[in-house]
Amino acid sequence: MDTSSKENIQLFSKNSMQPVGRPSFKTEYPSSEEKQPCCGELKVFLGALSFVYFAKALAEGYLKSTITQIERRFDIPSSLVGVIDGSFEIGNLLVITFVSYFGAKLHRPKIIGAGCLIMGVGTLLIAMPHFFMEQYRYERYSPFSNSTFSISPCFLGSNSPLPISVMEKSQSKINNGCVQTVAIIGPIFGFLLGSLCAKLYVDIGFVNLDHITITPKDPQWVGAWWLGYLIAGSISLLAAVPFWYLPKSLPRPRSREDSNSSSEKSKFIMDDPTDYQTPLGEKAKIMEMARDFLPSLKSLFGNPVYFLYLCASTVQFNSLFGMVTYKPKYIEQHYGQSSSKANFVIGLINIPAVAFGIFSGGIVMKKFRISVCGAAKLYLGSSVLGYLLFLSLFALGCENSDVAGLTVSYQGTKPVSYHERALFSDCNSRCKCSETKWEPMCGANGITYASACLAGCQTSTGSGKTTIFNNCTCVGIAASESGNSSGMVGRCQKDNGCPQMFLYFLVISVITSYTLSLGGIPGYILLLRCIKPQLKSFALGIYTLAVRVLAGIPAPVYFGVLIDTSCLKWGFKRCGSRGSCRLYDSNAFRHMYLGLTMILGTMSIFLSIAVLFTLKKKYVSKHRSFRTKRERTMVSTRISKENCTTSDHLLQPSYWPGKETQL
C-alpha cells in the first residue's frame, strides 16, 4: 500500500467504513458529510470542556465571594483566610504535572471526566463543616431599660451585654477565546451566587428567622456561605458525564490539512491520532513515556522565551490573585458597602469586562493574523496600559470613619496617632467596660463608638435593631450644635463623598479589567508558539503548575498578612484568643492592597519586556539563518541543474548538435 492510500485511510472514522463489495461514493468523492462525525464530536468536546471550565471557575469565584463570610463565621484573621483560599489549589498539585504529560498519550476525555468527579466531591466537602458545627452565635445589645429611672450598666459594672443565641435547631485563536470566555462566565455566576447567599442567614432552615435581630448590613451578619458550595459541587459532578462517552481521539478532516493549519501550533484538541501512537502491534508503556520526562522538562526550561514568559505570568498572576481575593473585602471596608452588594457589583460589572477583554483579544489575533512578536507586543502593551490605569485608584480613596479613641479623639477634634489610641477616656472612666467587645454605636455627633458602654450611655429605649441609647456622656462632650447626646445601634455611615468615590472606583476598575484581560489570548498564543508542538501539553501543564504553586497559593496568604497590619480593632473569641479584625485603617488598607498589586504588576512588565527582546533576538537570528540557507540552496540548485543539463547531453546516444532545431 502506498503512502497516499495510508493517508486517505486515516481520514475516515470507524463509522464511515463500508462493507466489502458495496460501492462507497463517500470514499471516492469526499464531501462535507464525511466531516460530520469529526466536527460533531469536536463540538461536543468543546462544549463539554467549556462547561468544565465554567464549573471550576464558578467554584473559584464563589470561594472568593465568601472570604468575609468565612472570616466572620470562624472568627479568623485575613492571613488564615488566605491560607484557606490558597489551599483550593493544593489538590491539583499532586497530579497536574503527570496528568499533563501522560494524559496527552492516554484517554484524555476520561481523564478529564475523572478530574471533574474529584473536583465535585472536593467542593462538596468544603460545605461539610457547617453541618458539624454549632449554630452561629452573635452578640447584640440588651436594652439597658425601658425606663429612664433604671440603673444603667455603665454604673452597675456590667462588662458586656448578654450573648443572644439564635440556635433553634483548539483549533484556533477564536476557539481559545471562546473557551476562556466561557471560563470567565463561571466567576460571574460565582459572585452572583455569593451575593444571593450573603443575603440568606447562615443557619437558614435550622432557626426561626423571625428571631434574628440583625440584617445583612450589620457587621456581625454571616450569610449562608455553605449553600453555594453544594450547588457548585453538584454542577462539577454533572460536568463529568459527557467525557465518559467521547472517543480517545478525534480524526482530522481532510479540509483542515493545508499549509496554513500545518504551521499553526495552537491546535485545540485536534492532534493527529498517530502523533502519540507506538509502532503497529506495540502498546505504549508508562516506563517508556517516563524516560522522556526529564529531557522534556530540560528542553522547556532551556527555552529562554518560555522561561521568561513563565516568570512574567507567575508574577502577574500573583498580583491578580491577591487583588481578586480581597477585592470584596476592600469594597466592604473601604467604601462601606455590604458583602452582598460587593459581590454583586464584581460579578455583574468587573468580570464581564474581563470576559469581553479575553474574547476581544482572541478576535484581534484571529482577524489580523498577528505574528508571535505581535502577540508579545500586544501582551506587553495591555499590561502597561492596564497598570497605569490601576495607578489612578490610589486617588479614589475614602477617609477613615470617625471612631472615638481609634481614629479621632473623644472630643472629636483631632486624629489620633498610633501611640495615642485608647478606648478609655475621662468621659467613660466611671464605667466598667470591656475594651475587647466590638458593638459599634453611632452617636448623634457622627462619631462611632466601640460600644454604648464606652460611649458612657446611661439609659436606652427600644430593643434589637431599634435600640436608642440616651444620656451618653462621651457623645455630649463632642456633641453637635443641637446638644443631642444619644446614639443608635451600628456604625455611622461614611462621609458624603465616599459613595461618589465608589462610583469612580467601579468605572476605573472596569476599564482596567478589560485592558489587562485583552492580553490574555495573545499571551496564550505566545506560550504555545515558543515551544515544540510535541511538548505543547507538557508545557501547559508546567505553566499551570507554576501559576498555582507560585501564585495561587502564596498570593492570598501574604496579601492577607499585609492587610492584617492595617487593623485598628481586633475581635476576640470566647476562649480569649484573637479573632477577626473589626475595624481597618482605610488609608493603610488602601496603600497595602493597591501598593502590593502595583509592585507585582511593575515587576511583570519588566519581565514581559525581557520576553519581547529575547523573542525578537531569536526571531531575527533565525530569520537571517533561514534566508542565508535559502540563498545557498538556490545557488546549489542552479549549479546542479546546469550540471544535470550538461551530463544529460553527454549521456544521450542520439544527440547530434547538427540536427538540433535552430530557433
Q: Are 341 and 221 in contact (CB under 8 A)?
A: no
Say if residue 32's pLDDT is above 50: no
Shortest CA distance to 48 belongs to which of 189, 179, 242?
A: 242
Rounded Cα distance between 68 and 225, Å, is 10
The reply to whether 486 and 502 lie within a common domain is no
Phi then psi dihedrals of residue 596, to 5 deg = -65, -40
**Angle in degrees, CA 551, 194, 116, rounded to 5:** 60
pLDDT at position 13? 39
Of the listed ranges 107-111, 400-404, 465-469, 651-655, the one predicted with least confidence:
651-655
Question: According to the per-residue pLDDT averaged within each range, which of 104-113, 133-142, 454-463 is highest?
Answer: 454-463
pLDDT band at 380 (very low <50, low <70, confident <90, very high): very high
Per-residue pLDDT averaged across 451-477, rounded?
82
Decide if 271 is inside a domain: no
Closest by CA position to 323, among listed 372, 280, 387, 385: 387
CA 337 to chain centre: 22
Whether residues 529 and 579 fall in one domain: yes
Q: What is the mean pLDDT of residues 597-607?
A: 97
Is residue 549, in this structure, part of any structural domain at all?
yes
Domain ranges, residue 191: 38-136+161-245
pLDDT computed for residue 286 by the predictor: 60
- Looking at residue 234, its pLDDT comes to 93
Q: What is the pLDDT of residue 433?
A: 84
Residues 6+ apart with CB under 8 A from 364: 370, 378, 518, 521, 522
Q: Please give the sequence-ordered ranges of beta strands (E in DSSP) within 389-485, or none if there are none.
A: 441-443, 448-449, 459-461, 468-470
If DSSP codes are grouped into helix, strand and coil, which group holds residue 505? helix
pLDDT at 154 over 60: no
pLDDT of residue 541: 83
- Decide which of 221, 245, 269 is a domain's last residue: 245
269: in domain: no
- pLDDT-derived band of residue 18, with 50, 70 and 90 as boundaries? very low
Nearest to 353 by CA among 227, 240, 506, 241: 506
pLDDT at 91: 66
3-state helix, strand, coil in the chain (%, to 5): 60, 5, 30
User: Is 515 found in the same domain as 431?
Assistant: no
Q: Residue 460 falls within a domain, yes or no?
A: yes
Residue with cell 522547556: 300
- The reply to whether 508 and 391 lie within a common domain is yes
Residue 267 has pLDDT above 70, yes or no: no
Q: Is position 131 within any domain?
A: yes
137 sits in which H/E element: strand 137-139
pLDDT digits (tens, 9 = 90+) for 399-428: 888 888 888 888 777 677 665 677 888 888
C-alpha span between 566 and 334 (Å, rounded): 12
For 57-83, the pLDDT digits (tens) are 899 889 889 988 999 889 899 989 988
Q: Provide the strand spans (E) within 562-642.
A: 567-572, 578-584
CA nearest neighbour of 512 among 323, 315, 318: 323
User: So what's the pLDDT on residue 330?
Assistant: 94
SS3 label, residue 573: coil
Count of CB atoms situated within 10 Å of the CB of 129: 12
Q: Identify whether residues 319 and 411 lie together within a single domain.
A: no
- Mean model confidence pLDDT for the chain: 76
Which residue, of 245, 268, 293, is where some domain finishes?
A: 245
**Is pLDDT above 70 for 578?**
yes
Position 662 scores a pLDDT of: 39
Cβ(41)–Cβ(49) under 8 Å?
Answer: no
Which of 149-163, 236-250, 586-600 is predicted with the least confidence, judged by mean pLDDT? 149-163
Is residue 511 located within the same domain as residue 566?
yes
- Position 44 in a domain: yes
Instruction: Spell out where 446-514 has E strands.
Output: 448-449, 459-461, 468-470, 487-489
Identify the sign of the CA torsion 637, 642, 646, 648: positive
Place of cell 472570616: 71
Confidence of residue 475 (pLDDT cuts 50, 70, 90): confident
Q: Is the pLDDT of residue 563 over 90?
A: yes
Whether the per-residue pLDDT at 261 is higher than 80: the answer is no
Residue 150 lies in a domain: no
The contacts of residue 426 (CB under 8 Å, 6+ apart) are 410
Same domain, 535 and 469: no
pLDDT confidence bin for 617, thresholds 50/70/90: confident
Q: Convert the pLDDT of each residue in 270-313 to its tens digit.
A: 444 444 444 444 445 566 666 778 888 888 999 999 999 999 99
Domain identity same for 487 and 558: no
Question: Of 594, 614, 634, which residue constitutes the final position of a domain?
Answer: 614
Of 145-149, 531-535, 550-554, which range is least confident?
145-149
State the cell numbers at 54. Answer: 465554567
* pLDDT number for residue 481: 53
Instruction: Say if residues 329 and 347 touch (Cβ distance below 8 Å).
Output: no
Stronger pLDDT, 610 or 248, i.e. the higher one? 610
User: At which residue does the C-alpha cell 448578654 appear?
Assistant: 162
Q: Which long-range contacts (CB under 8 A, 24 or more apart) does 253-257 make?
A: 253/11, 253/34, 253/35, 253/38, 253/39, 254/11, 254/30, 254/34, 254/35, 255/35
Tally the C-alpha atoms within 13 A of residue 478's C-alpha that lie toward its C-beta.
27
Let me know whether 79 and 178 are in one domain: yes
Q: What residues form DSSP beta bridges with 487?
A: 443, 469
Q: Quick check: helix, strand or coil at residue 613?
A: helix
Per-residue pLDDT of 425-445, as tens digits, reads 888 888 888 888 888 888 888
pLDDT reported for residue 164: 26
Tens of pLDDT, residue by residue over 486-495, are 888 888 887 7
| Residues 591 and 444 reside in one and the same domain | no
Q: Is the pLDDT of residue 382 over 70?
A: yes
606: in domain: yes
Residue 2, judged by CB atoms within 10 A of its CB (0-12, 13-18, 19+), counts as: exposed
The DSSP code sequence of 213-273 is ---TTSTT--B-HHHHHHHHHHHHHHHTGGGGGS-S--PPPGGG-SHHHHT----SS---G
- Residue 147 gets which letter from DSSP? S
Q: Are 566 and 585 contacting, i.e. CB atoms less than 8 angstroms apart?
A: yes
For the residues of 533-563, what is the DSSP string, one character each? GGGHHHHHHHHHHHHIIIIITHHHHHHHHHH
Number of domains in the chain: 3
318 in the same domain as 215? no
The 3-class secondary structure across 37-56, one letter per residue, is HHHHHHHHHHHHHHHHHHHH
226 in the same domain as 215: yes
